[in-house]
Every structure is written in C-alpha cells, then in structure tokens.
Amino acid sequence: MKTVDGLGDATIIDLLAEIGSFAHYRDPRQLVKLAGLTLKENSSGQRKGQKHISKRGRKRLRSVLFRAMIPLIRHNEAFRELHEYYTTRSVNPLTGKQSIVALCRKLLNVLFAICTKKQAFDAERMKQDVLSQVQRAA
C-alpha cells in the first residue's frame, strides 16, 4: 500500500483499521459496499431520479477515503489526471466532490488489487484500464 504516492502511514493505518484484512473479501465490490459508495437511484414509475451514494456503509471509512484523496490528487499524477478527466469530459462531467467520490471507489479497487495480488501500484496500468473502459463505452 505504500507504493501509492500520496498515501501516508497514518492514512494506511486508518484504512486497515476500518477494513481489516483484505483476505476477508472476495471482490472489491464488497469493499465498495462496506464503505457505502454504491449508487442508489431515486425513481418512481416513469420518472428517473438522480443517483447518489447509498451511505449505508461505514461513515468513518468514507471519511478516511475522502480525506486521503485530497493529497492523492495533489501528489499522484495518475489520480490527478483521472480527476481532471472526470471534471472536464464533454459527456457527463462531474463536479469536484463527485469526482473525488468516484476516485475513492477507484482507490478501494486499487488497494484491493495491490493487497490480494501482492504487486506494486502501477499508474500506467491504471490509466490504460480507464482508457479501455472509456473506449468500450463510446
């Protein structure tokens, strides 16, 4: 986890205190659900409402993730580029806070992969994954 530039020792300790062992989770979506970052839509009948995060998970974990993203965006080039992409894309641009929440979810996925596969953080691979998702959606 220390291979991610911008994550300090205190942040890593707080994350591990809230998450516990990554061996308890089979899929990163379980971590996203634990943090309460899953999307919830408020719709009825023909009307489609806006989507918000569910907030049904651990409030402290969400708080630690959100506080960790500010220095990550500042010091980690990969997360900075993703934040800029999310806020400036032509189709469905996100606000600053929405982008940070999306990056919190991405950070959980990255940390899960780092800890389960026992590999160092690879910023180029993360960028390629995002680019391939964008190209598939287009």
Q: Say how far apart CA 99 and CA 95 lie, in whole Å.
A: 6
No. of helices (H) and no. of strands (E), the chain: 6, 2
For the residues 105-133, what does the mean pLDDT come to?
Answer: 90
Q: What is the pTM of this model?
A: 0.89
Q: Say how far apart CA 133 and CA 115 lie, in whole Å.
A: 23
CB 79: neighbour CB atoms within 10 A? 24
- For the cut 80, the answer to whether the pLDDT of residue 138 exceeds it is no
- Burial (CB < 10 A; 0-12, 13-18, 19+), residue 76, is buried
pLDDT digit string, tens, across residues 42-97: 888 888 888 899 999 999 999 999 999 999 999 999 999 999 999 999 988 999 99
Mean of the per-residue pLDDT values for the chain?
Answer: 92
| Tokens of residue 83, six digits | 């934040």
51-53/39-41 β-pairing: antiparallel
